[in-house]
Amino acid sequence: MIVLVTGAFGNIGTSTVTELLAAGHQVRCFDLPTRANRRRAARFGDRIRPFWGDIRRPQDLAPAVTGCDAVIHLAFIIPKMSTTRLESESVPELAHSVNVDGTCNLLDVIRMQARPPRLIFASSMHVYGQTQHLPPPRRVVDPVAPMEHYARHKIECEEMVRSSGLRWTILRFAATFPLALQLDPGMFDVPLDNRIEFVHTRDVGLAVTRAIECDAVLGKTLHIGGGRACQYLFGEMADQLLEAMGVGMLPTQAFSIIPFGTDWLDTDESEALLHYQRHDLRDYVRDMVALLGPRRQMIRLLRPFVRAWLLQRSLYYRRTQPRGWTRGIAWLRWVFGAAT
């Protein structure tokens, strides 16, 4: 199949492109022509066909869509851990133009095709809002109650997709962390007792790839998560990740106490149809340890300073400390590279 991936060089995009190529598909990649995206595209060499453009411009989308059998729509400005360094909650007007108007443009271009390709739309568990007071897991029939611009954009786009007249599938993803040294201060917004489900980015890529090959998922909304083995309280997950990186678990007061929009998901149907749950959090931890390489030992040696630097990025922790409790540690940035 000829498959177009929008947002192809982000976290999930890169994993999806990798799985599509492994499955033998011809892959087209649509993304912004940034230096970072061109560098990521170069890693795939001539195995992909890149299309550079802006999803807000239908004329940029048309050449990429023409002749495709399937479109996987991932391009979205997200609230946390974004490879673009833009956050939907900080730039809501820009986010709406990219997320909602961009999706509308894509649907219009797809409908213009002589044989419209099938569409996979990437949504999120964030659409359910705060659900910690409800018994888990979340099911796709549960009511949506968005708390942020990002989730509202996802819901608006889901509604457009369902009424588009196209062959569609909507996949709502669990927490999918990038395989990158990216210590985002957004982690402090999640309470330690908040339920959260992890799914490995490679498993998401596999699920999306298998979804374009499976007619049984047409017209369905499905959860994509790691399954029961990947359901944690956030504190359990944070402890494993921070210990593996050599930092160690951070104080409780560094984290919010306001319930966050994550939860455990019912993934029985998606796993039965797509058979994608291959990894768990332990695999992700091993991947991150390998990615850190010798820098992990450096972090261990500088652990007190690294912890101070991280805590300085927590608004919640700063509020509990006397003024001037620590200074910026700019010289540590080289340890983390892109993580800062």
**Contact between 263 and 192 (Cβ < 8 Å):** no
Buried b / exposed e along 314-338 (16+ C-beta atoms within 10 A): bebbeeeeeeeeeeeeeebeebbee
Tokens of 30: 């649509």
**Contact between 111 and 237 (Cβ < 8 Å):** no
The beta strands (E) that lie in the chain are given as: 2-6, 26-31, 48-52, 70-73, 118-124, 168-173, 195-197, 221-224, 231-233
**Contact between 70 and 117 (Cβ < 8 Å):** yes
Q: Which of 128, 150, 232, 316 is catalytic?
A: 150
10 Å Cβ neighbour count for 13? 26
By three-state DSSP, how is residue 230 classified? helix
Cα(169)–Cα(93) distance, rounded to whole angstroms? 27
By three-state DSSP, how is residue 172 classified? strand
Q: Is the peptide bond before 137 cis (omega within 30 degrees of 0)?
A: yes
276 among known catalytic residues: no
Which 8-state DSSP code applies to residue 144? P
Kindly list the catalytic residues: 150
